[in-house]
Structures are given as C-alpha cells and as structure tokens.
Amino acid sequence: MNQGQIALQYRELAVKSATQVGLVVLLYDMAIESLTRAAREIDAGNVEARTTEINHVLAIVAELQRSLNFERGGDVARRLEDFYDVARGKLLEANIKSDKEIVERLFRIFCSIREAWQVVDREAGSDPGAFEAAPSTPPVPRPASPQADAEPESAHWSA
C-alpha cells in the first residue's frame, strides 16, 4: 500500500467518523492544503497545477457556501457568505495574476476560520447537548461592510 492509498483511507475514516461541524473542519483542511500547494506551484511556474489547486479551493468554497444555515447561523452565516464571495473573487484574481501573496493571505484567513470551527466542534463533542445549543457557524471577524474586504482589519487585506 503506497502513501497515497494510506492518506485516502485515513481521510475516508475521518469523514465517516466526523460530526457535521467536523466535516466543515475537514473541508477547511482540504482548502488549506490546496492553498499551500497552489503557492508552491506559483513559485514553480506551473500554471496547470496552480490552476488545478485553485479550482479545488473554489469547489470547496462552493460546498462551504452551500452548507451555510442562515436560519441557525443568522448574521454569522451571512458574514461567512460574504467572505466566501470575496474569497472566490480573490482566488480567481490569484489565478489570473499568478499572485502568491493573495494565496498566502487566503491561507491565513482559512486557517483562522478553521480554528474557530475546531473550537465549535470540540465544544459540541465534549457535551452531547452542546451541538444543539452551539451556533451552526463559528464567530468570524466582521468586515467594515459587505463590499469591504472579508479579512480582519489587523491582517491588512486590500483589494
């Protein structure tokens, strides 16, 4: 059995045993891995591989956006939707311009949001009744406006 097969089996087991929130964390993990590979492919000048990785992140963003629960998530779900819209645009821009800086900024934001989801998953897992009481989306930084950048001000995101 090679490394790829082992990794695939591990991922399949993780998906089968994950909570609903844990599945969101796994999607963020996959997006972060693809962003890392996209940055590496930008450095290597490999247009085809860079495009493949960015397209993978775009597919993950679409799935994350489809999974938003606006009824339970309220304002946080709307802010995440705004973030996903901005992220999609930035991913397209990064691909067109072969811009590693944009990919790295998205990497940092995805890592930050993933950590918030991980906290929600841990809290829900430690108390069987907590999942029902927990928000369906984690807290995320609020942009100045829906048209503004979707990254916290401290990260100095600029369009």
Of the listed ranges 9-18, 64-73, 108-117, the least confidently predicted one is: 9-18
Mean pLDDT across the stretch 84-100? Answer: 98
Of the listed ranges 1-10, 51-60, 80-89, 136-145, the least confidently predicted one is: 136-145
- Which position has the token pair 């990794």? 7
Q: pLDDT at position 139, please? A: 47
Q: Taking all residues of the chain, what is their mean pLDDT, rounded to a whole number? A: 81
- C-alpha span between 34 and 69 (Å, rounded): 25
**Structure pTM?**
0.74
Instruction: Give percent above pLDDT 70 in the chain.
Output: 70
